Amino acid sequence: MGMIREPGIDICDGTEMTCNLLMQALRLDRLVYPDEYQLEKDVAISYLKKHPEIYVFAMANNQLLGYLNISCIDEQCFALIAQGQSNDLCIKETNLLTASPAKKNKLYFSSIVVSPEHRHLGIATAMLEAFANKLLAQCASGIVYSEIIADAISEHGARLCESLGMQKLIYSSHKSIVYGCQFGCEPDKLSFPAFIKKMKGKQSYV
């Protein structure tokens, strides 16, 4: 696990997230995301109940300090976001999928948020590493992903996407930049294991 520069902070899996912690995550969202990206409470709860694996979060003394959300989504929502036609509010609980070795799974990097008071402590780096370890475990069970996209609404988010090997795809209708990467073994493509390695190697991200 990446070194966190403050004692007492735990990095936890989404299966340990409670509704109270989820509400704290939604309050963090309001600090950093525009109104058009605010997830409704009922939708967020449906995510957590059906697919808690999409989350990794940081906490101390029952306070949520940050969270990361990366999910496997269906073709319909993937295409809408990849083409810049919609932000991720198009994703409902029914659009979230359980990754399977028998499918061409697609990843959506939704968000990574750390509370302003706890930035520059290595929390985001540790959350990225923790999620990378989840993806490694999936690889070991035969699950791989064919591609990933992200909807970057800030320069900070754009830099993270680029550092992970994603490329700029399109300017969206909602004034963001959609990034993506198709995984493959060809010389001009990033392999999925190489992407995971990049996630684990983020040593300088807040």
pLDDT in tens, 61-83: 999 999 999 999 999 999 999 99
Asked if residue 185 has pLDDT above 90, the reply is no
- So where are the chain's domains? 10-200
> What are the tokens at 166?
């994603």
- Classify the C-alpha dihedral 4-154-201-83 as positive or negative: positive
Would you place residue 1 in the very low, low, confident or very high pLDDT band (cuts 50, 70, 90)?
Answer: very low
pLDDT at 3: 61
pLDDT at 182: 96
b/e for 34-69, b at 16 or more Cβ within 10 A?
eeebebeeeebbebbeebebbbbbbbeeeebbbbbb
> What are the tokens at 161?
């996407």
Q: Domain 10-200, CATH 3.40.630.30 — does that match?
A: yes
Percent of the chain, pLDDT > 70? 96
pLDDT at 206: 44
Give the pLDDT mean for 200-205: 62
Percent of the chain, pLDDT > 90? 88
Distance CA 65, CA 124 (A): 10
